[in-house]
Structure 1
Amino acid sequence: MAFRPDARRLAVSAPNGELTLWDTTDPARPGRAGRLRLGRGIVAAAWNPAVSDRLATASTDGTGAVWRVGDDRTPEMLARWRALPDRPRHVGWVAGGTRVFVMTATGRTTVWEVAGGACVGQSDLSGGRPVVAAHYRRDEVVAVTGTGWARAWVPTRQPGEWVRLTGKPVSACAWSGAWLVVAGSDGQAACFDAEFQPVHALRVARERPYALACPEDGRLIASCGDNWAVAVDRGGSVRWESYLAPSAARSIEVAGDLVAVSGDQPRPVILALADGAIMTGEHV
């Protein structure tokens, strides 16, 4: 799932490989705004941080693509390339939104220039370690492993040194412009700054979170489980809790003043970031 930074479009993938675009301009009544499919199905998507109508996707057959998703036009594919020989799991942007990275669950990564389609670099970033999350830090691709390590890579260079984040298994991660949050299966989390320096530890949930999300300013950390979503502040105080239908929340994203959660149900649930109020019906 990927929430556009302006909170007006949400991309949600389905088990059949179809990516549904939702218009969340009116969070009480999200409506379908288009469908995307490529290769044998899309498994990951990410919005460009600088150009609001650009969406990068990765498909099960290793195909990467960039789409123009305007508010008043049919989605249009702008670029397509064979990114990986294996099934990807992560996709994202680097270098101010001019490059796209695609990564497998075991860290095999390629980076491509959007303009011209040239391959900038390839790397086995995690050495085969399972990757829980991938994101960007300036011109670097960052991988966080399930064993609690992080590694950054500038595509034109060799991967950097491994950084030990935690000695516990990692179940979920989130990052913003302010910090990186790494949570374990017990709901305890460690927070780091952009240089991977520890900031503090806190509890983000009472049980294992499936996913985490942060607004850009890092003022809250939202997490979700089978039938719940919760947000805590930087000090670890619970700001709100919301209870949802069973299996309604397997992934979570934050954009603007909204929180989107998605699970087994076809339609996402939208909550208010301020108080966790459910803004759209779970079974609409």
Structure 2
Amino acid sequence: MKTSPYGAIAFRPDARRLTVSAPSGELTVWDTSDPSRPRPAGRLRTGRGIVAAAWNPSATDLLATVSNDGSGALWRLRDDSAPEGVARWAALPDRPRHVGWVAGGSWVFSMTGTGRTSVWDVGSGACVGRADLTGGRPVVGAHYRGSEVVAVTDSGWARLWRPGRRPSEWVRLTDRPVSACTWSSTMLVVGDLDGQAACFDAEFRPVHTLRVARERPRALACADDGRLVASAGDNQAVAVGRDGSVQWETYLRPPGAQSITIAGDLVALSAGRPRPTLLALATGAELAGGRS
């Protein structure tokens, strides 16, 4: 997930709830069960402002957030009731940029933009471990593989860490600077400054390379089955098939999009507006625009 002034964008796996952050530090929850008319469904705030959020992959009513003061929080967001704060912890000593789930949703991790990471057990509230994954190298994306946290740097390297062990050896993904990256259930995709995207399987073996933009992609998202990669450049969203063919191109109102995510058959984009833009994954047609 990318972060920006309106950057903590996260789609629930069933595509019925979406969270979008605001410069005020509030996180707005949107009901997207009717994609043509998304409705605000609650607002969250904690720890001097929320900067990133992630839905639990197995317990779909649980949302993890991290805030400017380094704290993490867990929220229960049922469709038929107001958001409920479940837990809060002092995740990191400085500002995090990434949050996600590990071990099938039993643990939650927080990571700074320079790779300092902590992992917490949701059930007990105990800290599972802390590590410096990148030695200060800037992190473009953070995700998980089973019980391992994965960090991808802007210089094209990846590193894994399983709490309780030392971080793994570095994995070289690309010799090009990385501007954006994304994961699906089957694939890791890293985009470079020239609009090329290198795709890897779960073992970080190269699968193929695609052109996803004419220039540096601001953000990337991948459909869960890996068939489609979408990139948001300046005022355009482009979807590309696994064979490299362009599936669709959609013009976006300025300032375009800094964040993009996919769930189900929907694409959600966020830029300099509090309201998200929703597109149909199959066609790129705009279902709900980003007008304030």
For the superposition of Structure 1 and Structure 2, which TM-score range results when normalised by the shorter chain? over 0.9
Question: SS in structure 2 opposite 1:71?
Answer: coil
Asked if the contact 2:21/2:274 (under 8 Å) is kept, the reply is: no
Matches within 5 A, 1:161-240: 161-240=169-248
Q: Distance in 1 between matches of 2:163 and 2:141?
A: 18
Confirm or deny that 1:52 pairs with 2:84.
no
Identity of aligned residues (%): 70
| Alignment partner, residue 95 of structure 1 | 103
Give the partner amino acid of 1:178. Answer: T
Q: 1:265 aligns with which of 259, 273, 277?
A: 273
| Alignment partner, residue 118 of structure 1 | 126
Give the partner amino acid of 2:285. Answer: A
| Alignment partner, residue 10 of structure 1 | 18
Question: What is the CA-CA distance between 1:28 and the residue it aligns to?
Answer: 0.5
Q: Distance in 2 between matches of 1:10 and 1:151?
A: 29
Question: What is the CA-CA distance between 1:280 and the residue it aligns to?
Answer: 1.2
Structure 2: where are the runs of 5+ without partners? Answer: 1-8
| Alignment partner, residue 251 of structure 2 | 243
Q: 1:153 aligns with which of 161, 171, 187?
A: 161
Q: Distance in 2 between matches of 1:257 and 1:92?
A: 22
Asked if the contact 2:276/2:289 (under 8 Å) is kept, the reply is: no
Asked if the contact 1:248/1:265 (under 8 Å) is kept, the reply is: no
Asked if the contact 2:181/2:190 (under 8 Å) is kept, the reply is: yes
Question: What is the CA-CA distance between 1:191 and the residue it aligns to?
Answer: 0.6
Confirm or deny that 1:137 pairs with 2:145.
yes
Question: What is the CA-CA distance between 1:282 and the residue it aligns to?
Answer: 3.1
Q: Distance in 2 between matches of 1:5 and 1:224?
A: 21
Question: SS in structure 2 opposite 1:96?
Answer: helix
Question: SS in structure 1 opposite 2:287?
Answer: coil
Q: Distance in 2 between matches of 1:34 and 1:139?
A: 31
Confirm or deny that 1:31 pairs with 2:39.
yes
Q: Deviations over 1:198-228 (max 9, x none)?
A: 1111111111111101121111001102311
Q: Distance in 1 between matches of 2:255 and 2:36?
A: 20
Matches within 5 A, 1:38-77: 38-77=46-85
Question: What is the CA-CA distance between 1:236 and the residue it aligns to?
Answer: 1.0
Q: Deviations over 1:164-222 (max 9, x none)?
A: 00001000001111110000011001110000011111111111111101121111001
Q: Deviations over 1:66-86 (max 9, x none)?
A: 100111111011111000000
Q: Distance in 1 between matches of 2:121 and 2:152?
A: 23
| Alignment partner, residue 289 of structure 2 | 281
Q: Distance in 2 between matches of 1:30 and 1:228?
A: 22
Question: What is the CA-CA distance between 1:248 and the residue it aligns to?
Answer: 3.5
Give the partner amino acid of 2:275. Answer: R
Give the partner amino acid of 2:254. Answer: P
Q: Distance in 2 between matches of 1:131 and 1:281?
A: 30
Question: SS in structure 1 opposite 2:267?
Answer: strand
Asked if the contact 1:125/1:151 (under 8 Å) is kept, the reply is: yes
Q: How many residues align?
A: 284
Question: What is the CA-CA distance between 1:250 and the residue it aligns to?
Answer: 1.1
Asked if the contact 2:142/2:151 (under 8 Å) is kept, the reply is: yes
Give the TM-score normalised by structure 2: 0.96
| Alignment partner, residue 6 of structure 2 | none
Asked if the contact 1:226/1:250 (under 8 Å) is kept, the reply is: no
Give the partner amino acid of 1:15. Answer: P
Question: SS in structure 1 opposite 2:97?
Answer: strand
Question: SS in structure 1 opposite 2:104?
Answer: helix
Runs of 4+ off more than 6 Å: none
Question: SS in structure 2 opposite 1:279?
Answer: strand
RMSD: 0.8
Q: Distance in 2 between matches of 1:226 and 1:43?
A: 23
Question: What is the CA-CA distance between 1:235 and the residue it aligns to?
Answer: 1.1
Question: What is the CA-CA distance between 1:281 and the residue it aligns to?
Answer: 2.9
Structure 1: where are the runs of 5+ without partners? Answer: none
Asked if the contact 2:139/2:153 (under 8 Å) is kept, the reply is: yes
Q: Distance in 2 between matches of 1:58 and 1:38?
A: 9
